[in-house]
Chains A and B, each alone.
Chain A
Amino acid sequence: MVDLIDRQISAEIVIACRSGDRDAFRSLYDLYKDRVYSIALYFLHGDQAAASDVTQQVFLKLMTSIGDFRGDAEFSTWLYRLVVNACMDAGRRRKSDAVTTDRSHLEMLAGPASQEQDYARAQMANSVRAAVSALPPKFRIAVLLRYFDDLSYEQMAKALHCSMGTVASRLSRGHRMLADRLKGLKYG
């Protein structure tokens, strides 16, 4: 699916963006905005204002630096590199990030009662979001990139500025931590 989307990001669109074509930029934005926002939102513990901020920064940076995109890498890899940098910077600015997880923010992400009437399922969803939120930042961002865009290890390595081995290790350890935290939880 990612490859398909990347193929759709044709040279024409990139060239149009470089020349300041607002419509072309809007197409790029529409294609990726929800994924970028979702990654930022879950990375930043459900803080919607901070996630909006990161999303805005990413796309502004994208627009102002699209001239640096040479087309020898996949567009999404380049975009997610911007996402990783923006999320990590925003996380650092959130002083309380390392020590607290704001469950109220995370619970707001749950759907309304009509969509998640099953209490046990809603509890489960909150537990999963809290568990993801409690992961150390490097594991959290790796897990989110993997979940939201199913990037290959090679693409993730480029986005995360690390080796494929490190990516594999972070995903494996991240998932193990999630599994440990969620051990014993079953659908009601």
Chain B
Amino acid sequence: MDEREILDHLPKVKAPDAIWTSIEAALNDHRSPARRPWLWAFASVAVLALLAVGYWSVRHRAGEWIETDSKSRTTLRIGEIGFVEIEPGTRVRVVTEQPGEHRLALAHGEIRATISAPPKLFFVDTASGTAIDLGCEYTLSDDELGLGLLHVTKGWVSFQWKGLESLVPAGASCRTHPKIGPGIPYFDDASQRLKDALENLGVEKSAEDPLEVILAEARVRDTLTLWHLLQRVPVGDRARVYDRIAFLTPVPDGVSREKALKLDPETLRLWKDELAWKW
């Protein structure tokens, strides 16, 4: 079968008229998130759920603190892009409430965010850094000491602190630490040994070498953990991490060992883009 024959079976498909309607609506109100009328039929149940939440949820102004006691919870509406459920024993401040930026600060407790919007419109500051929504649903908790846990259930979250970033996809979690920032993300279905070893990284007196355990336990999917680990281990250990990733999944064109070990940003980005298909 030659290229022409293949092409014959990939006919050009007419774009639905509803797309233009959505574009026009978005252009008319370019600060609002674009509407998707083709999803209306599928989203009706979700809309009803949101309306129900909206009925009880409350809008808050910038600067306002919201605190729940040990038995109460509340829901905070985030502009037109979603909502945040505030669990019992939580203290949160509304930092910014504008169409282009919705920002909360989590002092302690737990929140569950459900956001449907373009990336980087919703932020949550914590003692360990900032969770940046990339279109997702997630849970973020922080204790009184600032130790936190980010757990993503849909989409992606970027957790950043002073130039250090952890990218956390759905099904993965990441511990966060004050003055250290985000830890290394891991999939929730990773082996317990791998998770324990991540906790022990940097601990001087471990019974076994945590890095050795992580490398041994890592599956293809755990290249999420290894890709982050490559950038955090001492220089002398980078080759071990690189070799393990390369063993688990072919290294794509454009990624050289030399550049990866030097943590060349473009190389790491290219590699991450390729690995992310397996995460």
Residues of A at the B interface (CB closer than 8 Å) are 22, 25-26, 29, 33-38, 41-42, 48-49, 52-53, 55-57, 59-60, 63-64, 88, 91-93, 95, 97-98, 109, 111, 124-125, 128-129, 132, 136-138, 144, 147-148, 162, 166, 169, 175, 178-179, 182, 185
Query: Is A52's CB under 8 angstroms from B9's CB?
Result: no
Contact call A128/B6, Cβ cutoff below 8 A: yes
Interface band, chain B: 35 or more
27 of the cross-chain contacts (CB-CB < 8 Å) are A22-B27, A33-B15, A33-B19, A33-B20, A35-B12, A38-B11, A42-B10, A52-B18, A52-B19, A53-B36, A56-B19, A56-B23, A56-B36, A60-B26, A60-B27, A91-B277, A92-B156, A92-B273, A95-B170, A124-B9, A137-B277, A144-B10, A147-B3, A148-B12, A166-B254, A178-B1, A179-B1
| The one of B1, B27, B171, B274 that contacts A95, using a Cβ cutoff of 8 Å | B171
Chain B 246-279, CB-CB to A under 8 Å as 1, else 0, gives 0000001110000000000000000001101111
| Cβ distance B28 to chain A, nearest Cβ, rounded Å | 10
Residue B213 at the chain A interface, CB threshold 8 Å: no
| B→A interface (CB under 8 Å) | 1, 3, 6-7, 9-16, 18-20, 22-24, 26-27, 30, 34, 36, 38-39, 42, 135, 155-156, 169-171, 252-254, 273-274, 276-279
How many contacting A-B pairs (Cβ < 8 A)?
108
Please, which residue of chain B has its CB at the minimum distance from the CB of A36? B15
Residue of B nearest to A25 (CB): B27
Shortest distance from the beta carbon of B111 to any chain A beta carbon, whole Å: 22
Chain B residues within 8 Å of A91, by CB: 277
9 shortest A-B CB distances, which residue pairs?
A: A37-B15, A128-B9, A98-B277, A33-B15, A125-B9, A38-B13, A38-B12, A52-B38, A147-B7
Contact of A59 among B23, B277, B279 (CB under 8 A): B23
Question: Which residues of the partner chain A approach B273 to less than 8 Å between Cβ atoms?
Answer: 88, 92
Give Cα distance in the complex from A136 to B249, angstroms: 13
**B135 nearest CB neighbor, chain A only:** A93
Q: Report whether A64 and B1 are in contact in the complex, using a CB–CB cutoff of 8 Å.
A: no
**Complex Cα gap A136–B271 (Å):** 14
* The one of A29, A48, A162 that contacts B38, using a Cβ cutoff of 8 Å: A48
